[in-house]
Amino acid sequence: MKPSVLFATSNRQVGLKLQPEVADVCQLKVSVSSGRAYADLRREAYQVFIVDSKLPQLDSVELAHALWHAPTPQGIFVSWGTLDNVVYVSEMKNWEQMTVRRSFDQLVGTLRALLDPAASRTLEAVRYQPKENTFFVAFRNGKTYELPRKAVQADDGSELVGEPRIIHGGSAFEVRQASGNRYQVPWDLVLYHHEPSYPYHKGKAGQRETEAQRAERIGGRVRQEREGRGWSLAELARRTGIQPPNLSRLENGKHVPSLDTLQRVADALGVRVADLVAA
Residue 160 is given by DSSP the state B
Residue 176 is part of which domain span?
A: 120-194
Q: Where among 69, 89, 115 does a domain terminate?
A: 115
- CATH of residue 270: 1.10.260.40
Each residue's pLDDT tens digit, 33-79: 888 888 888 788 787 888 777 777 766 667 666 666 665 556 655 54
Each residue's pLDDT tens digit, 172-224: 999 999 999 999 898 988 998 888 877 777 776 555 556 778 888 889 999 99
Each residue's pLDDT tens digit, 211-260: 778 888 889 999 999 999 999 999 999 999 998 888 988 998 887 787 77
Q: How far is CA 257 from CA 174, 197, 218, 225, 260, in A?
A: 16, 25, 8, 16, 8
Neighbour-count burial for 175-206, b at 16+ CB within 10 Å, e otherwise: bbbeeeeeebbbbbbbbbbbbeebebeeeeee
Q: Answer yes or no: do 9 and 96 share one domain.
A: yes
Average pLDDT over residues 14-28: 87
Phi then psi for residue 74, to 5 deg, are -85, 150
- Tell me what pLDDT residue 268 has: 92
Q: Answer yes or no: do 108 and 129 share one domain.
A: no
The total number of structural domains that make up the chain? 3
Cut 0.75: pTM above it: no
Q: Where among 115, 134, 159 does a domain terminate?
A: 115
- Tell me what pLDDT residue 11 has: 80
Q: Answer yes or no: do 244 and 215 share one domain.
A: yes
- Tell me what pLDDT residue 94 has: 44
Give yes or no for residue 81 having a pLDDT over 50: no
Average pLDDT over residues 106-128: 82
Who wins on pLDDT, 32 or 165?
Answer: 165
Contact of 51 with 37, CB cutoff 8 Å:
yes
